[in-house]
Every structure is written in C-alpha cells, then in structure tokens.
Chains A and B, each alone.
Chain A
Amino acid sequence: MSSTYRSSLVLLVLLNVVFIHITGAVELVWLLPLYILTATAVFTRPLRDNKIYRLIWNLGVLATFTVLVIDASTSGIAHLLEDGLILAVFCQVHLLNVLQKDQKPDLLFFNSFLIALVTSFFSQDLIYSLAFLVYALVFLVSIQLSNLSDQQHEIRTQVANAVLRDGIKRAVIVMGLTAMVFMFCPRDFDREGLVRDQMLWNRGPQQTADFSEEVRLGRSAQTTLSNRVAMEIHILQGAPHEIPQHWRGATLSMQNSQRWYVDSAQDYHELDERWRPTSGKWQRQGEMRSRVRVEYQKTEVRRLFNPLGSIELKVHPQNHPELAVPQSDGTVRYSGFNFPSKERPLLSYEVSIKEPNQQKVITRHPFQLEQYRRQDPKMESAAATELLSKALTGLDPKASEGELVERCRWYLSTSLDYLLPGERGSAENLSEFMSGEAGGHCEYFASALAVILRMRRIPCRMVTGYLAEEWNEDFSALIVRDKHAHAWLEVHDSETGWYTVDPSPPAALEGDNGDQSNLAAILAALEEWWKGVTQFDADSQGAFTVWLVNLPGNILAEFRLRPLRACGWVLLVLTIIYLRRRLRGGPPPELREYLRALRRAGLERRVEETPRELLARALTEEVRPEEMELLASATAAHETLRYRK
C-alpha cells in the first residue's frame, strides 16, 4: 500500500462519517470516537499483525455492537435509525482498521457508497452536495489505487500521483455525464415505489408545495418545491411595480387547533365589496391603475387568482365565463373545469387592479366582524401568550391597532425561523413554533400572527394563494410556479377595510436576498443551484431542454447586444486554453520525479554527469536506502523516457 492509497481510504471513511454527521440523526458523542479512530488508522497499521492488538480491537467491536443492540432494543424504533447509521459507519471504521496488506477493500467500497446513498434521504442540504462532490473523487481514486495495489508491489509515489491525476480527470467526466443523464433522461418524476411508507427512511409521503384551500397545522411530510408553472401574469397596462405580489385564491377565517378552513356561511357576514356581473365580466368599484392578463397553465382549476385590489375580472369567452363564481370575500371560484390538458384551451382571464387605498369600506353589523375574531381556546396556549407578550414589549400602550399589527408582524418575521415542511428542525405543531423551539413555513407564520392578533380581538383571516415575484427577462410578465404557493393574513381596518399583512421573513422567500456578503451570496447561489437539483421535475427538464435549444441563438444575441462582454468571454476561454497548453508543455513527469528524488537525496547534479554516473556517485555517499531506492527507480524511469529503452 502506498501512502496515497492509505490516505485515500482514510479520507473515504472520514467522508462516510461526515455523511452520517450531516444527517443530524446521530449525536456527536457517538461520532467523535469514529472520527478519531478513522484519522488514526494510518498509525495503527504496524500493529495489525499483533495478536494482542487484534484481540483488543475485536473485543471493542463486540462491545460496541452489544451497546448498539441494547440501545436499539430499549430506546425503541425512534432510535433504530440512529443505531443503524452508527453501525454502518462503524463497520467502515472497523474494516479500515483491520485491513491487511494483502486484502482488497471491496466491502469497504460497497458499504461506503451505500452510506452515501442512504444518507441522501435524510440530508438534502447543500452540505451534502459538497460532501458528495469530494466523495465522488475520493471514491474513484481509491478504487483505482486499490486496483493497482497488490501484495507484491508497493505503488510508487510517482505512479500514485499519475493515477490521482487520471482519477481527477475521470471523476470530472463521470460527474459531467451524470449531470447530463440527470438532466435529459426521461423518467416519471411522480413514480410511487413498490414499497412506500414502510421504508424506514421515508418519514411519510412526500408532498409538493402548491395552493390549497385548507391549512393543516401538524406534522408535515417532506415537501418538495416544484418549478411547474402555475400561471403567467402579463402586464397589459401599468408598470411592474404596480402589480401586487399577493394573489389570492381563498380566505380561511374558520379555525380550530388543527386547521384553518373556508367559512361555508361567510356570505352572512360579508365584509368585502361584491362582484357585479356586467356584460360578460365581473366588476367592482374603483379607479383602474393597472391591467393584466392571467394565463393559467395547469389542468385542474378551482380558483381564478386575483389580488386584493381587483376591480374587474373578465374571463376569455372560450373559457366559459359562466363557470366563474365570485365569492363574498372577493375571491373567485371556478367550477367544473378539469379537462384533459390536450382538449382544454389555455385558461385566460384579465384582471384590472385599482389604485391602492381606494377600497370601499362596507359597514356592517359588528357581529359580522366577530367571525374574524373568534378563536379556538386551545390556540391560546402559554406559548401564544408569551409570544404576544414578547412581541409587544416596548410598544406604546396607546399605539394604534395598525401599529400593533405591524409590530407583531415584524417580531414574528425577525425572531422565528423559516423552515420548509419536513425539514430538519421544523415544527410539528403551532405551539412548538410559537415557543421558538422549531421553525415553520408561511402557514405557521400566518397562523401564529392570526392567533396573537385574535387574542387582541383584531379581526383577521388567513389567505392562501401565490406570491408572484418572479419576473421574466423583460419584466413584462410574472411567472408564478407551484413553489410560489403562499399563505398570509388579511387584517380588517375599520377605516380602510382589509389589508395584506405577510409575517413570513422576506429573506426566506425566493427572490429576496437582502443585503448579503459575497460569501453569503455565493452560498445562497449554491443553495439555489442545489435546490434546483433536489426539486428537479418534468417542468424543469422541459425548461432546461428549451434553454439548451435556444442557447446558440442566445449566444448570437449576446454578441449582437453586448459585443464587448461577449468578446471578453471568448478572450477568457482562449486564455484558459492557452494556459492549459502551456502548463501541459512543461517538463515530463518522469523528469520532475527524478529532480524531486535528487532533492530528497540531497544531491546536486554536476556538469556533464549522466544520471547513471550520478547514481553511482550516490552509492558512495551517505544516502538513506529508501531515498537510494527512489533515486534508482527515478533514474530508470528517466532513462526509459530519454532513450526509450
């Protein structure tokens, strides 16, 4: 075994421990000894033939295994995963520490890849991707070195370095090809396995973030963010900044400890201005400021999404305008439209939006507002009370209702953590989230704010819909995807009516990166890239294919529009090619190795002295045997290179 080979195996096992570490399923107290035993495996090599060492080691393995079995049997199924992962990585450490010179570490390689695979189910973070990039390289090089190593021959450093270089090249090619397969290989992204929930690592069926007419608060399955386009909002009139971001689908005023849902009797306590049918369209009062055309892309349609200040909604005649049913809360239901996509014409409707603060306030009997203040007593937990108290700390007691609402919104968005459903550390109930023990997603933020506002008797309602914030290149249209599904609040003001309050942290929502350092920006970009991998779906595949098809045209367009910048890119590429060729044209590796061997032996070349003469001289000088051997080998390699014999 060469030192490079030994180091590669140690690194491989270390990366396995890292994989287990980043799942967060195993405590550091378990992993720390494994890290140490892996790192010190290089030093225990001379002891491996010693019977006493092997006896102690095997007793240690037996003891650890016993502890794990006892732990699994006493702690129950909750710790089964932890014990399993420890066992898997402990096997690796064991194999590494008992590997003899004449043994091939085949099992170590298989087990290693299995660990990388299994841990991918638990940790899909950026850190996993970075660890895997390093792992792929080390994995490949280790197998190559293992292939070259045998018990008769020690791999020379020169050969190990050549294999390392070859391995790096191969790893880059493999990863490039893997990326291509991943991008282009057609597959069923929604395929359900033959064995589903029974799988140990499957913490529940995966769900995709999308619009919902109901908000359930509880333990959530892992959620993927789909890039599937839900709708496109094209500006017909007005400026981009005049288009609201919050596009409402449904309002949920009813609440219990488990969920928020639509009030089926909301027409009786209507607080929104009604839509009126007028010659094929629905209208409300107000002065139009902007107008958009919404093109709905999905097959299933239940709602015609529109912002809070919509004053006119006109469905295209071919889309059966009669199916649109405006609700008393201003949302519009669209019923009976679920045709197969091939037969269905693209659903298109136009929405006119009025000037802000022009909402007509409808004065109703106070009991109608009661509906939006009603609170399930179970929601007013100690955590909710404490959260409200903390949020209002320092607030002037005479502050207006609006100031109170804003204060609460600010407090929530800055003091609680935003996490997607099913992510590690995400809340399993609202109390857990409100106490700050765990993070939550937009529904938790909106629910928490609603609870504390209703504790202060401020009428509010939950709204579900989309947060439209992704503009196309020329800012002519907003692209709304499934992953933009969002929940927020609408608070009723006695003077201005309903207004939007969104307590979710803006930085957690896509497109709002705030002020970031360069490193944070790079990390955010990497996170985004990795999210693109983990959330890759059929739409992303289609979009990528289209992008690739358009790439030559885009490059030509770049040359036409920004010739200087394009030329700069070309220059950069040519410089890289030139530098690469120049680097390749340096002295051959055999000569470099020979010079290195000379340096190590502390010898200097004399004028007109051939390598063979120098080797003969080295025999008469005090050169250590291993350096002498290296020099002899390097001299032979140099002669082979020079004379081809």
Chain B
Amino acid sequence: MRPTAFGIKALTFYLTIIAAYFVSPYTNLFFLLLSFLSTLLLLSLFSTFRNLGRVQGELTGLSPYPAESMARVRLKLTGDQRKRFNIQASLRVAGRRHALGRVEVLQGEAQIDVQLPALSRGAYSIDYLEIHSNYPLGLLRRYRRSDCETKLLVHPRPLDDAGTQQGGGVLDEVIGEVLSNSGDMGPSGVRDYQAGDPLKLIHWRASARRRELVVKELEGHSAPGIELQLDRRCAADKLERCLSLITTLAIHARDGKRPLALHTQGLSQTYGEGHASFAELLAFLAETSSLPTKAPAPPPVAPTVIRLPGRHMDRELQELEA
C-alpha cells in the first residue's frame, strides 16, 4: 500500500484538525466530527485493502507483436461475487511500468481489451503484472503482483503499407525471385498462365509450342514456398531491414498458407503447416542480433535461394538515403 497525493494532503488536513481539537476546549460536536473523520480514514484504509482481496489478473492472447506498435491483448480479472471498484492493471516490462487499463466495477470475472506498450524489437521479460486500486477514497493505493512466466516478444516491424509501396518493387521482386527459385521444390508440370503468375515461372518454350502462355508448376506443393538465407554478419541497420523484410514475408507466407524456410547462422528451419510454427520464427526474429564479421557463414543453400542482405537491401537503402 502506498499513499496517493490526495492521501498525503488528507493526512496533513487530518493532523491539522487533530491539532485544532487539542488547542480548543473540548466540545462534543468537535469530537463527533473528528470521530467521523477518523472512522472514515480507517475504514477507507480497510476498504482499499479489501477491495483488491482475491482479485487475480491474467493476460491472455499474449503473442509476439510488431515493434513500435501497440498490441491488443485480453486482460482477465477474476474475483468473487462481491462488487469491487476501480481495479486497474499495469505491466512492468524491463524495469518500466505501463498502464494497461481498468475495470470500473468487477463482480465475478471480467475481461477487457488492453494495449501493450509500444516497444522496440526484442524479447522482454515481464517482471510482473500488477493489479492495483485506490478505491474508495483514493487515499492509498494497494498493489497486487502476479508473476508472468512468459516473455514479451516484439518481432521486427513488417514493412508497412507505405514502405511496401515505396519498396514494393523490392518485395515483389524478392517474392517473385523466391517463388521462381523455390529451393528444393522442382517443376512437376505446366499449366495455363493465370493473371498474377510471376513472369519467371513462364515456360517460354512450351508457351511457344502451344502458342499460349503456360507456367511451370512446382512439385509437392499446392502453393509455392519461400526459402531464404540470412547472413547476420552485417551492420545492425541492414540486419533490421532484413528482419523486417523476413517478417513481412513470414506474414505473407502464413496468410497464404505457404511454407517458409530460413537458413541463417545456427538455424536452418522450415516454418508452416507440418513444420515449425510461424510464432517460433517471429520469436527468433525478435531475439536475433547481428554477428561479427569473423562469425561463421550461414548454412550453404542452393544458388537459387534468395540471400539476405543482398542487392535488394543495398538498393533499398540507397533509395531511403536518397
């Protein structure tokens, strides 16, 4: 329990009244009013203590979220059937407290959507989730902490709409390149061209024979996958850009239900259905960092696999600098 600013003012006021009581001769009404004030203060302390009793807080739906943006999660507060008022919650992450939200009246259980703080990329350990209240009079604030085992994973921010448009060429090119050089996926046949098919998939010889455009189909997949190699022996800003791009591709792949394979120092993993989850990839992207130039090279991959950072990054950085 900690006194609030109003509590300190009230205490000063109360002590002044006490002094006035002893300075003046005894009168019943003064004593009565002083008793009222004293009882009110004591009961307020007790009520503040009781208001938070048996209230538990829990964050649900906690998943990795993009850097520098606020994520919405659910805060679940549970108490008993007694009404409790003005229950507030805050989260202490990496030594800083962040207010989450409040429930004005809690009876039984309540769930509210709260926003997690905007953080830079990284994996943060949550110190604790704090439930607090200063009800009824706001003189004191009682805190209850519950430990959170989970980490707060803030993955790189995907290229936003503007960024995608600005570097759209880059993204499209990367995706196209990836799809055409689909790593371990070999062509299984041809089919008619459909609008949106990458030009690199067009089977020019077959198209010439048939006199209409046909494209190559890749073996074993209903949709083409993405395979990347990330060399982390690069500058931090370049790596960040790469990670943002990978995040964008990962989201793209996840939404399109395509697999994504990533090969980097210490990791060579495919993500998607039947493979490791994309959450694991995002967790890796949240935690990973650049390596010194003397560090070993990433695992070797087929020449067709797109390499990051590559010419796309250099060109994009040049565009940004321009």
Interface residue ranges, A against B (CB under 8 Å):
104, 106, 110, 113, 116-117, 120-121, 124, 136, 140, 143-144, 146-148, 153, 155-156, 158-159, 162-163, 166-167, 170, 173-175, 177-178, 181-182, 185, 187-196, 199, 202, 205-206, 533-536, 640-641, 644-645
Contact = CB atoms under 8 A, between A and B. Distances in A.
Contacts, number: 124
Nearest to A141: B136
Contact of A533 (B6, B28, B85): B28
A92 to B, nearest CB: 15
B24 to A, nearest CB: 4
A147 B29 contact: no
A579 B28 CA distance: 37
B30 interface: yes
Nearest to A171: B40
Interface string B1-30: 000001001100100010000111111111
B31 A182 contact: yes
Contact of B43 (A136, A170, A187, A641): A170
Nearest to A194: B23
Interface string B27-61: 11111110111111001000100000000000000
Given A182-B32, A194-B22, A205-B25, 15 more contacts: A104-B6, A110-B10, A136-B36, A146-B138, A148-B85, A148-B104, A155-B104, A166-B83, A174-B43, A178-B36, A181-B38, A181-B39, A191-B25, A193-B23, A202-B24
Nearest to B13: A110
B24 A195 contact: yes
Contact of A189 (B26, B32, B37): B26
B25 A159 contact: no
B9 A106 contact: yes
B32 A188 contact: no
Contact of B86 (A148, A194, A206): A148
Given A147-B134, A178-B32, A181-B39, A191 B109 contact: no
Contacts of B33: 113, 116-117, 120
A265 B30 CA distance: 47
B25 A144 contact: no
B29 A120 contact: yes
Interface string B87-114: 0000000000000001011001111000
Contacts of A106: 6, 9
A104 to B, nearest CB: 7
A188 B26 contact: yes
Contact of A148 (B22, B110, B135): B135
Contact of A195 (B23, B30, B36): B23
A334 B233 CA distance: 113
18 contacts: A104-B6, A106-B9, A117-B30, A117-B33, A124-B29, A144-B135, A147-B86, A147-B138, A153-B102, A162-B85, A174-B40, A191-B25, A193-B24, A196-B25, A199-B23, A199-B24, A645-B109, A645-B111
B32 A113 contact: no
Interface of B: 6, 9-10, 13, 17, 22-33, 35-40, 43, 47, 83, 85-86, 102, 104-105, 108-111, 134-138
B83 A185 contact: no
Contacts of B110: 640
Contact of A147 (B26, B109, B137): B137
Nearest to B19: A194
Nearest to B110: A640
Nearest to B74: A645
B111 A640 contact: yes
B37 A206 contact: no
A146 B139 CA distance: 12
B35 A178 contact: yes
Contacts of B137: 140, 143-144, 147
B83 A644 contact: no
Contacts of B105: 158-159, 162
A163 B85 contact: yes
A178 B36 CA distance: 5
B6 to A, nearest CB: 6
Contacts of A191: 25-26
A187 B35 contact: no
A644 B109 contact: yes
A136 B85 CA distance: 21
Given A113-B37, A144-B137, A174-B43, A202 B31 contact: no
A382 to B, nearest CB: 39
Contact of A175 (B36, B47, B135, B138): B36
A156 B10 CA distance: 27
B89 to A, nearest CB: 14
B85 to A, nearest CB: 6
Nearest to A161: B105
A536 B24 contact: no
A109 B83 CA distance: 26
B35 A185 contact: yes
B25 A174 contact: no
